[in-house]
Chains A and B, each alone.
Chain A
Amino acid sequence: MNSILAFYYSSIGKKVLMSLTGLFLIVFLVEHLIGNLLLFANDSGKMYEAYGDFLVSNPVIRFIEIFLFLGVIVHAILGVILWIKNRKTRPVKYKYFRLKDNSPLASRTTIWTGIVIGIFLYIHLKSFFIPSRFTSQKVSSYELVMHAFSNPWYDLFYLIALLVLGYHLRHGFQSAFQTLGLRNKTYAPFLDMLAFIFWFLIPVGFAAIPVYFFFYHQAVSTMIMGVH
């Protein structure tokens, strides 16, 4: 027990927890995207809803879900704790400090991109997760999605949040492997290539959903209104 506490109190221990929770969240993102691509099946959401019902009724998924929430909370709290600690290590600031000449911007903005993701998660869970899980009358999650994404402002907010998530992972993905000690001369180029999937392709995949439903809605309303 003592050594577990000592591990947590060490600088490396906290970072290892951050990287493990971060990677766990990334694995979830992959699953979440694959599931959500069912929205594109041209069947008025039948498959998507079946998938949703499966998630809700499966006890294993419900169990993993607890860890998912814990993971986000631990990751976010540790991120903030580390950031505050780090801000105290240089009481007298440099007059000139040209960090932009020696380190990437994405690596120095994780706290801000992280906070934006946190706000996004709150709104995201409120509009999709809470209604489809905790309201008594059965709501169709497909309709929920269609309705939410018919609002262009909501779509814009989504696109910005996904851009920010991509930027968080631009640094985060390789950083997690570095923290776990898995980034050596042989793996580093491979990891940097693999990272592209996570910081670019996955956010783009998610972004396709609001874009699709926005235009879908436009097309439907044009048809109803009879304009054009």
Chain B
Amino acid sequence: MNFTLKIWRQKNQKDAGRFEMYEVQNISPDASFLEMLDVLNNQLVLQDRDPVAFDHDCREGICGSCGLMINGRAHGPGRKQATCDVRMRIFDDGQELVIEPWRAKPFPVIKDLVVDRTAMDRIMQAGGFISARTGGAPDANSTPVTKENAEESMDAAACIGCGACIAACPNSSAMLFVAAKVSQFALLPQGQIERKERVQKMVIQMDKEGFGNCSNNYACEAECPKGILVTHIARLNREFLRAKLV
């Protein structure tokens, strides 16, 4: 398959940046999106040009490093896929693909398609942890958890922190990400100690970083590679209100 690529190039944070056009040929339909970019980069290196910088690590949809805006959709047009999960066969042969970095004020571009997502780490540092006893391992059955809560918590814990929810949101809101993290802990006995404090601190940090206000557009749920549901956002709101009022 052949593609015309329109890629955002930006040398560093200060550079204004611009789109540049590239052509790639003979791409296997089974190649992943990142492999297609590897082919492009090999081509560029051979021509002594600067390869396109993009984030990636596991290439199997679990690390959350990759993340590209492909033709106006976070992680491309498919559902429940990270950019590394996207296969080239979902596009048309000869199609033009516009590739942009995540765009949000708290996500400044570092280079080309790589953005600084440490704002999300700072939200985690503000409250995304639990207190645990040190010492011998506790007896396995000493803290029972209901099946429903375990399942719901694990669903929330599937969040890989990729930032697609923020990138796809018309308001650049981080609510789905924060909701996934707050839910994960709020549903388990281990998360109870900091329950009230956690939700308040994480929301304050989220606001401080400059993420937008949620308008319940639900674009985040549609673009999340891990299928995190907006019902977790309702739980985040509930947890926040509970912490403030109760």
Contacts and interface: CB of A to CB of B under 8 A. Distances in A.
Interface of A: 3, 6-7, 9-16, 82, 85-86, 88-99, 101-104, 107-108, 110, 171, 174-175, 177-185, 188
B149 to A, nearest CB: 13
Contact of B244 (A3, A91, A96, A97): A3
B176 interface: no
B237 A180 contact: yes
A16 B237 contact: yes
Give the most central of B6, B109, B204, B214: most A CB within 10 Å: B214
B170 interface: yes
Given A99-B170, A181-B241, A183-B231, A94 B100 contact: yes
A98 B215 contact: no
A6 to B, nearest CB: 8
Interface size class of B (residues with CB under 8 A): 35 or more
Nearest to B79: A102
Interface stretch (B23-31, B82-90, B205-213): B205-213
A178 B230 CA distance: 9
Contacts of A86: 170-173, 212-213, 215
A12 B233 CA distance: 11
A89 B216 contact: no
Given A90-B105, A181-B237, A96 B170 contact: no
Contacts of B110: none
A98 B78 CA distance: 13
A108 B235 contact: no
Contact of B222 (A15, A94, A103, A175): A103
Main secondary structure of the interface of A (DSSP, over half): helix
Contacts of A92: 17, 103, 109
Contacts of B106: 89
A158 to B, nearest CB: 27
B234 A89 contact: no
7 nearest interchain CB pairs?
Answer: A181-B238, A96-B72, A98-B72, A102-B222, A89-B172, A86-B171, A181-B237
Given A96-B71, A101-B77, 13 more contacts: A6-B204, A11-B213, A12-B203, A15-B213, A15-B214, A88-B105, A107-B215, A178-B230, A180-B241, A181-B234, A181-B235, A181-B236, A183-B231
Interface string B77-117: 10000000000000000000010100111100100000000
A97 B74 CA distance: 9
Contact of A184 (B77, B170, B235): B235
Nearest to A92: B103
B215 A93 contact: no
Contact of B204 (A10, A14, A16): A10
Given A179-B237, A181-B238, A10 B207 contact: yes
7 contacts: A11-B173, A12-B214, A12-B236, A85-B213, A95-B19, A99-B170, A185-B231
B240 A12 contact: yes
